[in-house]
Amino acid sequence: MGTDLIIQIGELKLTSPLIVSSGCCEINSETMELIDLNQFGAYVTKTITFNERKGNPMPRTVEVTAGLLNSIGLQNDGLYGFLNKLLKLRQEVAIPIIASIAGFSIEEFAKLASHLAREKFIRALELNISCPNLEKGRDVEIMFAQDEHLSYGVVKAVRETTNLTLIVKLSPLVTNITSIAQAVWDAGADAITVANTYPAMAIDIKTRKPKLGAVTGGLSGPAIKPLTLRAVWDVYQVVKIPIIASGGIMNWEDAIEYIIAGATALAVGTALFINPKVGGEIIEGITKYLQEMGIGYHELIGSLQLD
């Protein structure tokens, strides 16, 4: 990869602007044959919660027009389960590992952060304050990312436990994403992921039942790109820390759009399900585009022409 695509996220220097989205690439015998992690600058783990979670009832995924609804429900081995497997993960993943975490209280977020920040194999944390698949009442009273003060509080509490690079993943379905973005920046975030999936649903008209076992889920894929692109553009106007764009990136053209809107890095997730080789194709496409346009990667960031 050319030196021109090196980016900085907090303390992390990444050799590629592509990041593997949380929950979209489990390291196993099939994915490791199909997906070339070397095309990516970093790998985000499946979100880790303190306690083990079974996740939501089936069906957990539904195809919709140009998109995917998921309601996995943060199935994961819990913190200790994750730590027990971390050495093995590190043996299989050569690129920097970013741990995605979700607590059900500010204290829990801080606890998770302080445990994981101690691990030398964890190079950054991504705070998942925006999962749309947690049950109101049972898991959380309100999604942290919906509220400016809660968002600030979580990030501040985590910031106080560690100097590790902190990325905060926002929800796109808020009244004013710029105020949330400013709040987390003020609280000490090093980067912001714009954004998580959109709360959404689908209904089977034959049975009149929801298509997802948990009724609602998160929408990802091409259907959301125009929405999240706008969110990236809005957040870019108000923060000076890097933005990791996440929302329907399927090819290099989508990536370029996001970079022009203000993204420093691109998270690719759902696209991997359809095209496991998408990473290499995006890098090749970006490189060619930059050459043809006679522009450098960093010049391109936020270079939307308005006049």
Partner 1 sequence: MNIYYGKARIISNNEITSDVYLLSLELPHNIETLPGQFLEIKLDSDYQPFLRRPFSIFDQPETNIVKVLYKIRGFGTKILSEKKDMLDVILPLGRGVRDLHWQRYLLVAGGIGFAPLHYLAQFLIKEGKDVKFLIGTRNNEAIAYRNLIKNNKIAVSIITEDGSLSERGKVTDLLKKIDLSDMVIFSAGPLAMFKEINHMLKGQECFFFWESHFACGMGSCFGCIIETVQGLKRICFDGPLFKAKDIKWELI
Chain residues binding partner 1 by CB under 8 A are 23-26, 28-31, 33-34, 46, 54-55, 58-68, 70, 72, 75, 221-222, 250, 272-274, 276-277
Question: Rounded to the nearest whole angstrom, what is the least distance from the CB of residue 152 to partner 1 in the complex?
Answer: 31
- How far is residue 18's CA from residue 264's CA, in Å, rounded to a whole number? 9
The structure tokens listed for 285 are 């496409």
Question: How many angstroms separate the CA atoms of 196 and 23, rounded?
Answer: 12
The minimum distance between CB 207 and partner 1, in angstroms, equals 15
Nearer to partner 1, 72 or 122 (CB): 72
Q: Which is nearer to partner 1, 30 or 292 (CB)?
A: 30
Strand runs (DSSP E) across the chain, as ranges?
Answer: 7-9, 12-14, 18-20, 42-44, 61-64, 67-70, 97-101, 122-128, 165-169, 191-194, 198-200, 203-204, 209-210, 217-220, 243-246, 265-268
C-alpha 302: how far from its chain's center? 20
Task: Please provide residue 152's backbone torsions phi and psi, each rounded to the nearest 5 degrees.
Answer: -60, -45
Smallest gap from Cβ 39 to partner 1, in A, equals 14
Radius of gyration of the chain (CA): 18
H or E segment and range at residue 278? helix 278-293
Q: Which is nearer to partner 1, 55 or 153 (CB)?
A: 55
Residues with active-site annotation: 131
- Closer to partner 1 by CB, 185 or 252: give it: 252
Least Å distance, CB 27 to partner 1, is 9
